[in-house]
Amino acid sequence: MSMPTNLLIEIQQRLPVHLAKQVLVSLRQDELVWSELQREDLFKSLPIYQDQNIIVWSPGAFALQVLGFPMSLDELADPSYVPLEKHWCERCLSTYERTLRAIVPPASLGEAGLLALALRERRRLIRSWAGLAQELSKNLSGDPLPISIWKPVLSCLYRYVSDPLDIFKSLLAEWKGLDVYALVSHALLSNPMTYEEKVRIFRKLLEELSEGQQLEWLRYLRLRKQQSKMKKYKMNFCQKMLSVGCPKNDAFITSIVFLGSQHLQYLHCKEYRQYYNPGTMVFKLL
CA quadruple 248, 250, 256, 257: dihedral sign: positive
Residue 176 and residue 54 share a domain: yes
Per-residue pLDDT of 79-93, as tens digits, reads: 999 999 999 999 999
Stated pTM of the model:
0.79
- CA 197, CA 267: separation in Å to the nearest integer? 29
Count of domains in the chain?
2
Q: Concatenated DSSP letters for 249-263?
A: -HHHHHHHHHHHHHH
The residue out of 186, 208, 230 marking a domain boundary is: 208
Residues 6+ apart with CB under 8 A from 101: 139
Q: Is the pLDDT of residue 64 over 90?
A: yes
- Residues 260 and 252 sit within 8 Å (Cβ to Cβ): no
Residue 255 and residue 131 share a domain: no
CA quadruple 15, 18, 21, 27: dihedral sign: negative
Residue 123: φ, ψ to 5°:
-60, -40
Residue 183 and residue 219 share a domain: no
- CA 104, CA 148: separation in Å to the nearest integer? 8
Domain extent at residue 228: 212-285
Per-residue pLDDT of 205-262, as tens digits, reads: 999 999 999 999 999 998 887 666 545 544 454 455 445 555 544 444 344 344 444 4
- CA 211, CA 103: separation in Å to the nearest integer? 34
